[in-house]
Amino acid sequence: MKEAARVLDEFGVPYEVTVASAHRSPERAAGYARDAEGRGIEVLIAGAGMAAHLPGVLAAYTPLPVIGVPLQGGALGGVDALYSVVQMPPGVPVAAVAINGARNAALLAVQMLGLKDPGLRERFRAYKAGLAREVAARSEKLQEKLLCNDR
């Protein structure tokens, strides 16, 4: 989840961090979700492993979008968490990213927030352009290497 914080910092998006458990502190999790909107939060990112019910519990108690990050761990290496995050009942949506996909969760949150913040949307657009430049540079480097090896 540290990677999500890094991404949000890079984009200048303020955030809160807390620890709650759907099983060991369900009242804390429910209260956090209920009060989030009143604190100005617009998107929740929830990491959870094994049974991974936290994203769903948060989604049950808030009208805000919830992004679930299944975390690797336990006997099944995160697959159990992935299934828990993606198999939500109708009416309680949770967006899911890959196992340990905290970076993509934060990027998705940035995209969501960018819907109403043109400056953030432009920073995201610049980020995507930077990714494209990196791919082009890697391609060019590979081509140069292959051409040098052919001589």
What does the pLDDT look like over 19-69, one tens digit per residue? 999 999 999 999 999 999 999 999 999 999 999 999 999 999 999 999 999
Q: From the CB of residue 55, how many other CB atoms can be counted at a distance below 10 Å?
A: 29
55 contacts 68 by C-beta, under 8 angstroms: yes
For 76, phi then psi, to 5°, come to -105, 10
Provide the CATH topology of domain 2-116. Rossmann fold (3.40.50)
Q: Give yes or no for residue 138 having a pLDDT over 90.
A: yes
Annotated domain spans of the chain: 2-116, 118-151
Q: What is the mean pLDDT of the chain?
A: 97
* 45 CB-near residues (< 8 Å, 6+ apart): 1, 4, 66, 67, 69, 102, 105, 106, 109
In this prediction, residue 149 carries a pLDDT of 75
Q: What's the pLDDT at 74?
A: 87
pLDDT of 116 reads 98
> Distance between CA 19 and CA 107 in Å, rounded?
21
Q: Is the pLDDT of residue 150 over 80?
A: no
